[in-house]
Amino acid sequence: MTRLDLLKRVQKRKRQIGLTIDNIAKLSNLGNRTITRFLAGEDVKMSTVESVTHLLGLDFAGNEILSETFA
């Protein structure tokens, strides 16, 4: 899976759950700017990718590990 594929899945999941960048930043203990950079496809630490994907119920490859009914 490419970075672009992962970003598309993360964006889709973010919309499904209804989270904002502020929500993701607070829940993941990351900064708004970091989340914005990640969602824009800029380089971020692997730990950031892991934190955001885990928070959204996705594995590191962007596959769903939790159904959206948990939200």
Tens-place pLDDT, residues 34-65: 999 999 999 999 999 999 999 999 987 778 88
Mean pLDDT of the chain: 89
Q: Is residue 46 part of a domain?
A: yes
DSSP string over 22-40: HHHHHHHT--HHHHHHHHT
pTM: 0.83
Q: How many Cβ atoms are within 10 Å of 60's Cβ, its own excluded?
A: 13
Judged against a pLDDT cut of 80, whether residue 4 lies above it is answered with yes
Gyration radius of the chain's alpha carbons: 11
Round to whole Å and give the CA distance between 52 and 19. 11
The answer to whether 70 and 42 have CB atoms below 8 angstroms apart is: no
Q: What is the largest CA-CA distance in the chain?
A: 31
Q: Is residue 10 part of a domain?
A: yes
The pLDDT assigned to 67 comes to: 59
Query: At 40, which CATH number?
Result: 1.10.260.40
